[in-house]
Amino acid sequence: MRKFIEGSMAVSESVKLCRPDVVAAYPITPQTHIVEFLSQMVADGDLKTEFINVESEFGAASIVLGAAAAGARAYSATSAQGLLLMGEVIFNIAGMRLPLVITIANRAVSAPISIWNDHSDAVIFRDAGLIMLFAEDAQELMDMHPQAYKIAENPEISLPASVNMDGFILTHAFEPVDILDQKLVDDFLPPFEPVYKLDVDNPITMGLLAEPTWYMETRYKLKETMEDALSIIEKVADEFKEKTGRYYGGLIDTYRMEDAETAFVAMGSLVGTIKDVVDTLRAKGEKVGVLKIRSFRPFPAEKIREACSNLKQLVVFDKSYSLGLGTVLQEELRSCFYNRKHQPIISGFVVGLGGRDVPPQSLIDAYRKTLGKEILNEFVDLNTKVLGG
Amino acid sequence: MSKPILLTSSPGTSKVNKTGGWRTLVPVFKHDTCNDCRICVTVCPDACIFGQDNEYHPDLDFCKGCGICAYECPVDDIDMVLEVK
Amino acid sequence: MAEQTKKRKAKPPITESLLTSGHRACAGCGEALGAKLIMDAAGPNTIVTTCTGCLEVFSTPYPETAWRMPWIHSLFENSSAVACGIDAALRAKGKREGINIIAQGGDGGTADIGIGCLSGMLERNQWVLYVCYDNEAYMNTGVQRSGLTPYDTHTSTSPAGKQSFGNPIAKKPLLQIVAAHNIPFATTATIGYPADLQLKVKKALKEKGATFIHLHVPCPLGWAYKTEETIEIARLAVQTGLFPIVEMRYGEVTRVRKITKERKPVEEYLKLQGRYRHLFVSEEGKKELEKIQAIADANIEKFGLV
């Protein structure tokens, strides 16, 4: 059924279809609507789940950890400060190999306090062992949540997965969405079979202390699993395509890359903008294309190199910055081509921090500025008056 | 594909750790005035006193020699003595 | 005098405890004893969550575990929230009946860093028994002061010194804070009276809502006393009035352990412990003892212990 709905509603409808056993979340702008819609569904009897009104994001994350440990399918959602407050627990969930899904409505991290979108919250957790997928639009959000559960709950993976969506841009904008059929989702996503769980009929101890003799191997195993996740993410996307005919990419997606010489690279809703930019430039005969990073963690280095094998240049548009180093996506791409036979020229531009609007013309101007050469860590559209220039 | 390392343990695997090696004093159960109250069993922090019918004994593999059983025994039937190994 | 002894039914053989031997608690550890008593009172149909702390560290160094029922440790401050998740999961699966869920933490994990999550659990009245093992300091990390450290106690971060008598802050009234959430059952307890503790566990587990036990557990290392005196010291804390045994239901006191016949002055309790040694060496120290006696007197007055 096709409906004109808010991005947050697409998320809520999608999560409902995944039949979560336990939902625990704490309100934070711009995630609020997701959880409000879910609680209305529960109140109307449309969603049978244990819905817990928690005292903080830390509580929410701990509750879904406990629920997953007891063998239940659990869900939470948050943004920026809330995600940071969950921080300790996210590492804990990944280290304890418990699968669950968290929707992150990406928002700038305080200070200064900002409720608007950028990717600074998500990138903080790139080391945690959390699978991180970035959605481009509301339809992809509908499609991504069952996929996220399927990846997380795979017994070879057994890790938490995050669905990242740009705060306000995707949460609060209305788009036409094909709501998935419950039967299709049930078929695609079977009931959760935990690899291990708390059960009085089969008692085990979880969360033991690991002395130096034991700790390193657990991290090695996590490294191996994140690598295994690369092929699982592709497989699950392909399976979903078979069932629905829709494909938003696996680890990456490409647009008009067949004969491109330059590719614009981005994650999340920005991909939609750069597709428009590419169409504009293609109309003028320029050989440009789009590289969409769909899976940020695990980082699909091999797939990226494959897709860029004929490119002269990459122009990265990033909504995050690693202070003291450089823009995050730019650095990760540079390292994925380091010492390889083919190395496109890579430039990196910082856009849209704190919800700053990203007009397509600004992206074109930035691209023009490169003149085919490398520009690194350049902030786009800075207000020189504010900077005291 | 590699299966996740789960880092869990099965019940009672602690018993490989023979904490009896820690003690300097060892409880001697005299079986003289014992009235089967089982207070010694109740108060042992290491759950290592066993027996029945006025005859109780510590599991020396685990007894840490804390002396609580001797202190609490209401009929003074347990002595703590320096253990000679 | 002819002794009439009835032929008593033979007691059954002793079975292995649900917190079994081989754990690395100090000899004479009050917390280990308390946990053992609680687990055995609760029985094997129990799922347990525990905060980071002595109890977790001495019982679960991989690959060894002393716990014989399903048990999970997550973080320092969230055993209550993790237990809430387990409660929700079992309810969602229709498997909640007949299972006990016990969340555990030390005085730090419960009253300080964990109080937010604990308050949430109590406010939602989730069906979990929370046990606070109160040894009155952060013992596992080296005897640092906590919110439940009593007045004038020497700890490593509130040491007695030339210009200090130790912790200058009164013990946080944890039982009242918990009971103010209006939960079905909240009580203090002590390993000084093991049978009473086990009875309280059974009372708590009968309630299908949030319940709470604030358990006083002496620590031979942190309190600096002879290991065999663990239970004696726990009893003295009650008998002086410094640790009142009080049961509360829905915010009202329903039962107290009176100390009318056994009341003792606070010195009897304090003098056995190295952590109060500094109060016995000077005139100013003796004045402090009077202040501590006043705290005990106030407890006795407030709860009608005499």
Q: Which of B5, B9, B13, B15 to mutate to test the interface with A (most CBs of A within 10 A)?
A: B5
Using a CB–CB cutoff of 8 Å, tell me whether B28 touches chain C: no
The answer to whether C52 touches C84, Cβ cutoff 8 Å, is no
- Comparing CB atoms, the residue among B1, B4, B9 nearest residue A97 is B4
- Is the CB of B12 less than 8 angstroms away from the CB of C16? yes
Distance, in Å, from the CA atom of C275 to the CA atom of C266, rounded to the nearest integer, reads 14
Q: Where are the alpha helices (DSSP H) in C77-159?
A: 79-92, 107, 115-123
Quick check: B21 contacting C, CB < 8 Å? no
Asked if residues A364 and A331 have their Cβ atoms less than 8 Å apart, the reply is: no
Instruction: Name the residue ranges covered by the structural domains of chain A.
Output: 2-244, 252-387
Between residues 73 and 92 of chain C, which touch chain A (CB distance below 8 Å)? 73-75, 77-78, 81-86, 88-92
Cross-chain CB nearest to C89 (options A21, A62, A205): A21
How distant, in Å, are the alpha carbons of A266, A320, A387 from that of A384? 25, 20, 5
Rounded Cα–Cα distance for residues A46 and A44 (Å): 5
- Say which CATH number the domain at B40 has: 3.30.70.20
CB contact set of A11 (below 8 Å; sequence gap of 6+): A34, A77, A103, A141, A142, A145, A163, A165, A171
Looking at beta carbons, which residues of chain A come within 8 Å of C117? 55-56, 58-59, 62
The two three-digit tokens of residue A296, written as one number: 């940020």
Does the residue B4 lie in any domain? no
Inter-chain CB proximity B1 and A205 less than 8 Å: no
The predicted pLDDT at position B1 comes to 61
CB-CB under 8 Å, C68 with A209: no
Fold of A252-387: Rossmann fold (3.40.50)
Could you report the per-residue pLDDT of A198-213, keeping only the tens digit for each? Answer: 999 999 999 999 999 9
Q: A2-244 maps to which CATH number?
A: 3.40.50.970
Tens-digit pLDDT profile for residues A289-335: 999 999 999 999 999 999 999 999 999 999 999 999 999 999 999 99
Is residue B78 situated within a structural domain?
Answer: yes
One pLDDT digit (tens) per residue for chain A, 389 residues = 999 999 999 999 999 999 999 999 999 999 999 999 999 999 999 999 999 999 999 999 999 999 999 999 999 999 999 999 999 999 999 999 999 999 999 999 999 999 999 999 999 999 999 999 999 999 999 999 999 999 999 999 999 999 999 999 999 999 999 999 999 999 999 999 999 999 999 999 999 999 999 999 999 999 999 999 999 999 999 999 999 999 999 999 999 999 999 999 999 999 999 999 999 999 999 999 999 999 999 999 999 999 999 999 999 999 999 999 999 999 999 999 999 999 999 999 999 999 999 999 999 999 999 998 999 999 999 999 999 86
Given a contact cutoff of 8 angstroms between Cβ atoms, the answer to whether C104 and C79 are in contact is yes
**Side chain identity, residue A291:** L
Whether B14 and C16 lie within 8 Å, measured CB to CB? no
Q: In total, how many domains does chain B have? A: 1
Q: Whole domain around residue B42: which residue ranges? A: 29-82
Could you give the percent of chain A with pLDDT greater than 70?
Answer: 100
Task: Nearest chain B residue to C235 by CA: give it.
Answer: B72
Q: What is the pTM of this model?
A: 0.95
Q: pLDDT tens track of chain C, all 306 residues?
A: 444 455 667 899 999 999 999 999 999 999 999 999 999 999 999 999 999 999 999 999 999 999 999 999 999 999 999 999 999 999 999 999 999 999 999 999 999 999 999 999 999 999 999 999 999 999 999 999 999 999 999 999 999 999 999 999 999 999 999 999 999 999 999 999 999 999 999 999 999 999 999 999 999 999 999 999 999 999 999 999 999 999 999 999 999 999 999 999 999 999 999 999 999 999 999 999 999 999 999 999 999 999
Cβ atoms of residues A173 and A117 within 8 Å? no
User: Would you state the structure tokens that stand for residue A375, as one six-digit string?
Assistant: 């520009």
C-alpha to C-alpha distance for A86 and A102, rounded to whole angstroms = 11
CB-based contact (8 Å) between B23 and chain C? yes
- Dihedral sign from CA coordinates of B48, B51, B52, B55: negative
The residue of C21, C227, C231 whose CB has the most chain B CBs within 10 angstroms, and thus the best one to mutate to test that interface, is C21
Q: Which domains does chain C show, CATH number per domain? A: 30-303 (3.40.50.970)
Nearest to B9 among A97, A205, A224 (CB): A205
Interchain CB distance below 8 Å, B7 and A225: no
Chain A residues near residue C42 by CB distance under 8 angstroms: none
